[in-house]
Amino acid sequence: MTTRAGSTAVVTGIGVVSSLGRDLTETFEALCAGKSGLTRPTPELAEATNIEVVSQAPDINPTEVLKPPIDPGVDRYLVLAMAAAEQAVRDAGLTVGENSEPERTAVVASTAGGALRTYEEHAAARRERGRQAVSPYLCPGMIPNMSAARIAIKYGIRGYSLLLSTACAGGGQALAEALRLIRAGDADVVVCGGSDAPLHPTVAAAFVNANSLAHGYEDPARASRPFDRDRNGYVLGEGAAFFVVERAEHADARKAAGYADLIGWGATTDAYHVTKPRPDGSGAAECMRRAIASAGLGPRDIGYINAHATSTGIGDVAEARAIRSLFGEETPPVSSTKSITGHLMGASGSFEAAATVLAVAHGTLPPTHNLDTVAPHCELNHVCGKPLQTEVRAALSNSFGFGGHNISLAFGAPSTRGRRVQGAGADD
């Protein structure tokens, strides 16, 4: 095998599924315009949990995205992952075995919860009706690696494969792993991303009982308020986002255009608390510093930060402190797209990376919506109210997860000969 260490990684395909829909163009337009995906839950979920606001992805028939035969009871997190991966592969014009070697193509997926609904349903059936009520498909339907495995099976990917589960940092960490593989010369193409489907009674009830979810808002679209004085929790959401990331030389050889280069990553662990970040934001600050250094840049080169900012009192303050500690009082423009998508859990890191890639590709920074009054200790150079048009040399996407997992990704202008503008193909 020829080693291609040190190669540039470029994003050539993106697929998204969220409460904003499945169309990449409409998703980015909604992020910029503030067309919220936040709604009231179904009556059944509301009655079972007292949850008030959710971010629900569209229903997808498993037959749309899975190769037959389809196992009974396929979990929703997997269907969302397959739908986003299919869109990303199609968007990239990738055909494994024709314009990508199967053994040089990899897949890295992530989920925070995996098939929680499937396990819960089978456990209830066993208690009610005994052993025979448990499907023989439960094990392959339940284990979380199946999103990576199913993607590999569908597209004939025979290289490296991995399932990551680092809570809400996982989607971002899947892209970091893709960059590692390409820089090490271990893959030419990586299909990577994250998915989650936590909108079922047990998980929703846990978050309600933890008093961590937004509540008390007459208009659900106003409930997610990152960095705002009146925030009182995040909105639980479901979705998926996947990418095709490849060596720039490989993309050029098959005449694929790029949205943006994935130029750096940084990861740290807070080692502080199972749910809370370090109050001073030191872990997040070091994570961003490493991402910038990995890209061969300095803090002044960063022109945008897509913040993790979930709309919680402790988390938003810690991240704001981290950003100021690294960049000083004159920070780059900052926004949180969770203001209209809510928190997509294990998919949040990859979905927000997609928003960051599109911001770089378009020179358009999506704003934080619902930011009426900046909360104390959250003072930053906020993009709010309307998008900011500006050329971005480099941007960061931050994702932080329960347990203290921190990941920051750095993106820059694409190095491929062809350049993408949101689903429009090459811009020569």
Note down the domain range covering 372.
9-412
- For position 311, which CATH number holds? 3.40.47.10
CA distance 320 to 234: 17
| Distance from chain centroid for Cα 44 | 28
Percentage of the residues of the chain whose pLDDT score is greater than 70: 97
Of the listed ranges 48-62, 63-77, 296-310, 327-341, the one predicted with least confidence: 63-77
Domain count, the chain: 1
pLDDT one-digit tens code per residue, 246-301: 999 999 999 999 999 999 999 999 999 999 999 999 999 999 999 999 999 999 99
C-alpha angle 175-195-355 in degrees, rounded to nearest 5? 55
CA distance 428 to 418: 6
| Structural domain contains residue 428 | no
| Structural domain contains residue 426 | no
pLDDT one-digit tens code per residue, 294-324: 999 999 999 999 999 999 999 999 999 999 9
| pLDDT on residue 248 | 96
| pLDDT on residue 143 | 86
Residues 407, 248: contact at Cβ < 8 Å?
Answer: no
Mean pLDDT of 331-336: 98
- Residue 52, pLDDT > 80, answer yes
- Quote the pTM value: 0.94
Strands 239-247 and 236-237: unpaired
Residues 53, 223: contact at Cβ < 8 Å?
Answer: yes
CA distance 422 to 219: 31
Catalytic residue among 122, 200, 308, 369: 308
Catalytic residue among 250, 343, 382, 405: 343
pLDDT one-digit tens code per residue, 135-172: 888 888 888 899 999 999 999 999 999 999 999 999 99
Helix (H, G, I), strand (E, B) or coil at 133: helix
| pLDDT on residue 36 | 97
For this structure, is 377 an active site residue?
no
- Residue 424, pLDDT > 70, answer no
Catalytic residue among 32, 122, 168, 378: 168
Quote the mean pLDDT of the chain. Answer: 93
Q: For 194-226, give one letter per residue: b (16+ CB within 10 A) or e.
A: bbbbbbbeebbeebbeeebbbeebeebbbbbbb
DSSP output for 312-340: -HHHHHHHHHHHHHHH-SSPPEEE-THHH
| Structural domain contains residue 420 | no
| Structural domain contains residue 286 | yes
For this structure, is 192 an active site residue?
no
| pLDDT on residue 256 | 97
For this structure, is 168 an active site residue?
yes
* 67: amino acid identity, one letter: K
| Structural domain contains residue 424 | no
Mean pLDDT of 79-105: 98
| pLDDT band per the 50, 70, 90 thresholds, residue 4 | low
